[in-house]
């Protein structure tokens, strides 16, 4: 008999499936916003509705520089999964204050700042992505819990 998933593992597993809708050629990211064990909204990274997708017409990459001098590459076409989930909640009138968000990867610094302002109190993720960029902000956001969730490894042959 297999062990039952925790609620955190359950919702994080759903983010993997949501990420499969991604139209980003560089990474598949999924997000699920949850309150009281109920899914309020989902999102994945990709182009806005009705606009060309990276998987169809290619990425529009631009470079920017962080205050530390690191060069980063981002895509003009793509909206991040967290922002798409927040937009879906807003479009459908779902209040997300005091909710949790489950994301396949840690949020980028821009999404993290938006999550703070929406009142999200818990950010659960599976994989680290530029986590070091969030560390300077964490000291100012004690109301937001950032937590890595371990998912069980599926049995061989499953």
**Number of other residues whose CB lies within 10 A of the CB of residue 87:** 15
Cα dist from 21 to 30, 82, 107, whole Å: 8, 14, 18
CA distance linking residue 51 with residue 29, whole number of Å: 19
Residue 96, SS3 per DSSP: coil
Cα dist from 52 to 31, 57, 58, 76, 77, whole Å: 21, 7, 9, 11, 8
Q: Which of 82, 126, 128, 135 is catalytic?
A: 82
Residue 82: active-site member: yes
**Which residues are identified as catalytic?**
82
């Amino acid at each position: 008999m297999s062990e039952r998933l925790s609620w955190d593992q359950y919702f994080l597993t759903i983010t993997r499936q949501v990420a499969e809708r991604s139209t980003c050629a560089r990474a598949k990211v999924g997000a699920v916003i949850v309150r009281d064990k109920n899914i309020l909204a989902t999102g994945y990274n990709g182009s806005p509705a009705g606009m060309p997708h990276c998987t169809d017409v290619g990425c529009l990459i631009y470079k920017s520089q962080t205050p530390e001098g690191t060069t980063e590459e981002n895509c003009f076409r793509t909206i991040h999964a967290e922002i798409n989930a927040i937009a879906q909640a807003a479009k459908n009138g779902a209040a997300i204050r005091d909710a949790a968000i489950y994301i396949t990867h840690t949020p980028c610094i821009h999404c993290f700042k938006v999550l703070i302002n929406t009142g999200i109190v818990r950010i659960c993720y599976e994989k680290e992505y530029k986590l070091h960029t969030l560390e300077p902000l964490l000291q100012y956001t004690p109301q937001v819990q950032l937590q890595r969730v371990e998912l069980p490894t599926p049995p061989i042959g499953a």
